[in-house]
Amino acid sequence: MIQTTCFIAVCENLVNRLRRKFFKAILHQDIAWFDTNNSGELATKLFELDTTFSNLERFKEGTGDKIGLTIQYIAQSLGGFVIAFVFSWKLTLIMMSLTPFMIVCGSFMAKRAALVTKEEAKKYAEAGKIAEEALTSMKTVIAFNGQQYECERWGIVSFLCFSQEFLNLVNNKEERQVRQQSSRNRISLIFGCSNS
């Protein structure tokens, strides 16, 4: 509990400093820079608190207590291998032969998840841009009777965001089932080799 509290406090401080530096960097840009970068996307990246949208919140999710847990898991794994070698070095060697396969599968799934997350962030930034564009020029939208058009335009983009999230959930469920089956197969192989 102390470990988690300390790492979360450090993470919050770090994210706060990153937000300030990001905002300061935006304020010091040339006017021409704002022609190529939409202020709606920047505002979404900077101030959105939901982890689905904000890169800074994703950074916060990836650090914080995760660093402490990573150190803890590495220590547990190394300790487990030492204990396993002491009790049954033959079985431990069999288990270690499967480790490269597990690392390759894990890195493939991590790369795929990063790609999906990047696409999702782009879509949400676009939805935020459309919403801010309509809200900041509300008088113009009302003057030209464009409320329905703006609602439809935002609805299409937000539906694409929702469908991307839904597909991600389905894919995550399938990946979880594959991982569980792979884990069962490894346990069966290790058990079979240990009995022979």
Q: Where does a domain end: 87, 118, 150?
A: 87
Judge whether 95 and 188 are in contact, CB under 8 Å. Answer: no
Dihedral sign of CA atoms 49, 47, 127, 153 in order:
positive
- Closest by alpha carbon to 51, among 25, 15, 23? 15
Q: Rounded to two decimals, what is the model's pTM? A: 0.46
Asked whether residue 96 falls in the same domain as residue 192, the answer is yes
Note the pLDDT of residue 194: 61
Q: What distances in angstroms separate CA 76 from CA 31, 107, 157, one per listed residue?
A: 53, 20, 45
The residues, ordered by sequence, that sit 6+ positions from 105 with a Cβ below 8 Å of its Cβ are 179, 182
Q: Where does a domain end: 87, 117, 152?
A: 87
Asked whether residue 120 falls in the same domain as residue 154, the answer is yes
- Residue 178 has which token pair? 């594959």
What is the pLDDT confidence band of residue 7, given thresholds at 50, 70 and 90?
confident
What is the pLDDT confidence band of residue 51, given thresholds at 50, 70 and 90?
very low
Q: Where does a domain end: 87, 110, 141?
A: 87
Provide the mean pLDDT of the chain: 73
Judge whether 58 and 51 are in contact, CB under 8 Å. Answer: yes
Asked whether residue 108 falls in the same domain as residue 194, the answer is yes
Asked whether residue 42 falls in the same domain as residue 31, the answer is yes
What is the pLDDT confidence band of residue 189, given thresholds at 50, 70 and 90?
low
Asked whether residue 54 falls in the same domain as residue 151, the answer is no
Asked whether residue 97 falls in the same domain as residue 78, the answer is no
Average pLDDT score over residue span 93-102 = 83
- Residue 75 has which token pair? 């220590």
Asked whether residue 150 falls in the same domain as residue 191, the answer is yes
Which residue range forms the structural domain that includes residue 183?
88-196
Note the pLDDT of residue 52: 43
Residue type, 141: V
Task: Report pLDDT digits (tens) over 144-170.
Answer: 777 777 777 767 766 666 666 666 665
Asked whether residue 55 falls in the same domain as residue 98, the answer is no
